[in-house]
Structure 1
Amino acid sequence: MLDDLAAGARLLWRLPAFLRNPVRAHGVRAILQMRLQRREANFLGLAARAIYAVPTNPYRHLLAHIGCAPNDLAALVGREGVEGALRALYRQGVYLTVDEFKGRRPVVRGNLTMTVTPGLLRNPQASVHIPVHSGGSRSPQIAAGIDLEDIRAEAADLRLFLAARGGEAWVHSFWSVPGGAAMRWILRISAAGGVPARWFSQVDPAAPGLHPRYRWSARVMRWGSLLAGTPLPAARHVSPDAPGPIVAWMADTRRRSAVPHLLTYPSAAVRVCRAALDAGVDLSGAQFTVSGEPMTAGRLQEITRAGAAVRPVFAAMECGQIGYGCLNPEVSDDLHLATDLHAVIQAGADGSAAGLPAEALLVTALRPTAPFILLNVSLGDQAALVKRSCGCPLEQVGWGTHLHTVRSYEKVTAGGMTFLDAEITRVLEEVLPARFGGGPTDYQLVEEEAADGSPHLRLLVHPAVGALDEHGVADVFLSALGAGPGAAGVMARLWRDAGVLRVERRPPRLSASGKILHRQRVRTAGP
């Protein structure tokens, strides 16, 4: 609590100057070019200050285990470049899987064994102005924190992205859940020179059970913006199943000859567009930026059917913005990798030894303000990683590497909310059988995306379990996932309010190899 109060005081002190001095349009291209030119120096500098100079840093132990001193690392980068050096380090065991990163599994490399926690990987140079916590029912919560200087670092890239889309004068709004992710977007847009007009919250910020942090941090941000003379919007509750107020706001903005821009989740954008179509509201020219779940072809089709345009972004709480949507895409989630701030490699054929799929992404932070020091860390995502010439403005500024078909291999994502695979497994195999009977193969979660892009989760319960209250099963499942007032509780509340989950009495599905997996993904022809 004292840490939260100190962070609130720092935010109130620093925010007015931050809001009065956005990143200038004429300087952002030069900022990006300088970062790209200094990638090797930035990587080595961060390694020197935050890894080699910190005795408790786990990467220091991994590097020492393979005999890689600072001068060895510098020589390796000089020969191979940043990505080449990272691949060489990965092959020698310098990496962390998501389970290792979150402390759920010890790191074992030969005769080296250690336990890592995210706290050991916090950037010692980063400040915390807004505390952000993520975590679930099995893992300890991760305190990340938002540093205003890190927001500014990302804002330069965001301003380039918006300018490439013709979005310098768009009217911005947000629709997500309470917490750090929404506040980070609001501040990022502000630092990029935009003016946030509306903040819609999918969960009522005044709902009982939410941590007080969600309320006071938003209030402090609002107070600080008033002191700066650049007022930021207060959150207004708009539930996922009733997006009418957002449709009305977008229509009103268009009537004023302005372009409405909504930042939200892909499935939430689909809800807005379907509501607009049902109400006969024309959204031609409206803009969406989406993140938090896969931007699939079905979702893209539903959004564009309403006349709106959409671009995805790819981000993670642990490292911020990783990629920005290509303006000449080959697939629905074609992204440009922000190589000025990150280096990304893939596990490749060697990944199986570490329990990683070949396309698993290993992320390394390159900026000194990153919340965590990441060196070849898997955050549970996989994607195609390619270099191609697309001819869009984002390639012209220097982002030549593309990501697409970004999917989680260790998480369940629906409605913009994510739970780790291990958390789902624990509830299916331990909590539900203990409460309702049956065994670990009697419960299965089926993830579906309807043809219209809307997400659905079906919790299959084998009929052999016997009579039970289906609503009770759903409540226990969501309560177990969302135990506590933190981020997991917000996510579970959203799934409940949005009606994403339904229980069905049928045997769990068999995989192609005859296995009963605790969760499966399918695509259906309808909702």
Structure 2
Amino acid sequence: MRLLSRDDLTVGMRFLAALPRFLRTPLSIGEMRAIVRDRFARREARFLARLAEACGLPGSPYARLMDHAGCTVEDVAASVRRDGVEGALATLYAAGVHLAGDEFKGRRPVVRGSLAFTVDPATLVNPRSVVHGLSESSGSRGARTPVPIDLAFVRDHAVNTHLALEAHGGRGWTHAHHGFPGGTSVTNPLEFAKGGRPPARWFTPIDIGSPELSPRYRWGVRAMRIGSLIAGVPLPGPTLATFDDPSPVVRWMADERARGRTPHLWGYASTAVLICQAAREAGVDISGARFTMGGEPTTPARRAVVEAAGAVALPRMGTTETDILTFACAHPQAADDMHFLDDRHALIQPGSGRGTTGVPDDAMLLTSLLDTAPLLLVNVCMGDRATLLRRDCGCGLARDGWGLHLHDVRSFEKLTAGGITFLDVDVIRVLEEVLPLRFGGRPADWQLVERHDGDRARPEVVLVVDPSVGALDEHAVADAFLEAIGGGTGGERLMELQWREARMLRVVRESPRRTASGKILHLHLDKQGRVPVSDGEAD
């Protein structure tokens, strides 16, 4: 039996001691708006303060990059006065002061001319952070990264959460969360509570009592429950709602509607799809329900499934390292039209022809602005790309100062097999539109997995099809995939021919693979030929 470590006990006791005061001091909407106005008013000063702190960390990669570029914090301050925060960051990027995802994680050395070193991610942790818990990135792009959870940062994020809810008329909604123990299953309920609207339910896809689960998660659940009772602001315990049977969520939503209330669930995009599909199959009306959905792209196909159930999709984007970066626009022009929260982070892109290894032209480069940020980031790429647009949409988020919109947010993670490389954006259309239209099923029922074929000692690509889709001619499915993905006369056609010749694609009837935190990625890289075991939650 696994036991709690001394560090786990220390962190747990610190969390339990701090939680009652956190819950007893909610913020009003007026206070939240004042906080955001102050953030914007002092944005340049806050950026320079974070940059100075980041460069002052022992072993700071930013200090080494700036020194190599011949740049000082004073030089950056002059650039900010001249060109603004984003202009100064663009100048730093051009001078080589940035980190690609693999560099940031310490998986690939940073090389800038004669300078070469490897980043230790621990050197990026904000020394101001008080560790009330630990979250971990899901490992969907490699090794997990531990990130401290500080209640001061949760408070800062609650400000954005409740102003976003206000923009969508959601202050009176009944909130619930669906997710694994740890990570956002801790922070999200606390954010709701900080605005005076604690969640009514917490649904989890795994049994909290499972011996497979680390004891620190079970004790974390108990600590949050006990601390909330001491504070007089009780938070819900877990209710099992698996991915195979989300009916408890469906019943809760139907009950809320029957009481004249609006149910609102915070969870993954694929989870929202499964819940809406389950409601339709059961003949349960959940029209009017709201889904704040992230962790995976809110594609047109996923949004369509939610809207077909009469529900409302509210896309979000975030990472474990940053928490939420965007909230849904109330007047969207795309399936995933979102407002970037530039009071909390600065965002630039390299621009046409200015990309580098691991950082394409339209990559998102993020910089921390809050003094409570868990990690100090300066032009760090997390592996996502997006289309950026400034427009006055007229929604509440724009009125509160967030004028930068993002849409078409995708990972630029690559899958390579048989000498052919393509991006996940190239397979989304086939997996979410072409194959379901021809053979049936939902967007979450189809997935591409790369793994090692031990028998033939080479990589293979597996097209995973959920058994719920029904009887299929697997050869016809494989042919349809190859025809659709190879629908061209150039490289796509070459890929199709090469995969056919090498018998690179195989169809397997099983449930799509999930990451350790429960996401269903369009491309799942499974080099070991096994499914990750859940041990926490990411963004």
C-alpha contact 1:461 1:504 (8 A) present in aligned 2? no
Check conservation: 1:222, 1:234, Cα contact below 8 A. yes
With over 3 angstroms needed to count, the CA separation of the structure-2 counterparts of 1:111 and 1:404, relative to structure 1, is: same
Question: Residue 466 and residue 85 in structure 1: after superposition, are their counterparts in 2 closer, same or farther (change >3 A)?
Answer: closer
Give the conservation status (yes or no) of the 8 Å contact 2:447–2:522.
no
> In the alignment, which of 5, 8, 12 is matched to residue 12 of structure 2?
8
Confirm or deny: 8 A CA contact 1:336 1:402 kept in the other structure.
yes
Give the drift of 1:210.
2.2
- Please show how residues 141-152 of structure 1 align to structure 2 within 5 Å: 141-152=144-155
In the TM superposition, 1:28-427 aligns within 5 A as 28-48=32-52, 50-134=53-137, 136=139, 139-410=142-413
CA shift for structure 1 position 357: 1.9
Secondary structure at the residue paired with 2:149? coil
The aligned amino acid for 1:233 is P
Q: Which residue of 1 aligns with 2:494?
A: 514
- Distance between the aligned counterparts of 1:459 and 1:54, measured in 2? 40
Paired amino acid for 2:282: A
In the alignment, the residues of structure 1 paired with residue 356 and residue 248 of structure 2 have an alpha-carbon distance, to the nearest angstrom, of 51
2:194 maps to amino acid: A
Counterpart AA for 1:512:
E
**Offset from partner CA, 1:312-356 (integer Å, 9 cap, x none):** 111111011111100000001000010100111112234443342
The AA in structure 2 aligned to 1:40 is E
Query: In 2, Cα distance between the equivalents of 1:498 and 1:364?
Result: 43
Q: State yes or no: 1:24 paired with 2:24.
A: no
Aligned partners of 1:239 and 1:498 also within 8 Å: no
Distance in 2, matches of 1:133 and 1:146, equals: 10
1:39-73 CA deviation, whole Å, 9 max, x = no partner?
1000111122x223324211111111112222111
Structure 1 CA distance for aligned equivalents of residues 126 and 359 of structure 2: 26
Note the alpha carbon deviations across 1:477-499, whole angstroms, 9 max, x for none: 99xxxxxxxxxxxxxxxx99999
One-letter identity of the residue aligned with 1:10: R
The one-letter code sitting in structure 2 at the alignment partner of 1:232 is: L
- Secondary structure of 2:401 counterpart: coil
Contact 2:277–2:305 (CA under 8 A) maintained in structure 1? yes
Structure 1 stretch displaced more, 51-60 or 512-521: 512-521
Instruction: Name which of structure 1's ranges 92-101 and 202-211 shifts more when overlaid on structure 2.
Output: 202-211
- Say if 1:100 and 1:461 are closer, same or farther in 2 by CA, change over 3 A: closer
Q: Which amino acid aligns with 1:230?
A: V
Distance 1:191 1:453 in 2: 35
Q: Aligned equivalents of 1:218 and 1:165: distance in 2?
A: 30
How many percent identity over aligned positions? 43
AA aligned opposite 1:158 = T
Distance 1:81 1:458, change over 3 A: closer
1:388 and 1:187 map into 2 onto residues whose CA distance is 32
Q: Per-residue deviation at 1:521?
A: 6.2
Label 1:81 to 1:137 Cα distance change in 2 as closer, same or farther (>3 A): closer
Partners of 1:387 and 1:401 within 8 A in 2:
yes
TM-score by length of 1: 0.82
Q: Deviations over 1:271-302 (max 9, x none)?
A: 11122122222222211111101111112121
1:138 deviation in Å? 9.0
The one-letter code of the counterpart of 2:30 is H
SS of equivalent to 1:354: coil
Q: Is the 8 A contact 2:345 2:367 kept in 1?
A: yes
Partners of 2:385 and 2:62 lie apart in 1 by 22
Q: Which sections of structure 2, spanning at least 5 residues, go unmatched?
A: 506-520, 524-539
* RMSD (Å), alpha carbons: 3.3
Shift of 1:440: 8.1
Equivalent residues of 2:58, 2:123 under 8 A apart: no
Instruction: Check whether the contact 1:240–1:497 (CA below 8 A) recurs between aligned residues.
Output: no
Contact 1:100 1:107 in 2 (8 A): yes
SS at match of 1:207: coil
Following the alignment from structure 1 to structure 2, what is the Cα–Cα distance between the partners of residues 16 and 497? Answer: 47
Q: Conserved in 1, the CA contact under 8 Å of 2:353 and 2:361? A: yes
Bigger mean CA deviation after superposition, 76-85 or 23-32: 23-32
Change (3 A) 1:90 1:7: same
- Asked whether the equivalents of residues 239 and 497 of structure 1 are also in contact (C-alpha less than 8 Å), the reply is no
**Structure 1 residues 145-154 or 205-214, which shifts more?**
205-214
**In 1: Cα distance, 2:473 partner to 2:338 partner:** 35
Compute the displacement of 1:123 (Å).
Answer: 0.8
CA contact (8 A) 2:54 2:124 kept: no
Is residue 459–residue 503 contact of structure 1 (8 Å, CA) maintained in 2? Answer: no
CA–CA separation in structure 1 for the residues paired with 2:253 and 2:42: 41
2 CA distance for matches of 1:172 and 1:355?
38
User: SS at the partner of 2:494?
Assistant: coil
For residues 401 and 348 of structure 2, the distance between their equivalents in structure 1, rounded to whole angstroms, comes to: 18
Paired with 2:34 and 2:303, the residues of 1 have a C-alpha distance of 33
Q: Secondary structure at the match of 1:380?
A: strand
| Partner Cα distance (1:4, 1:308) in 2 | 40
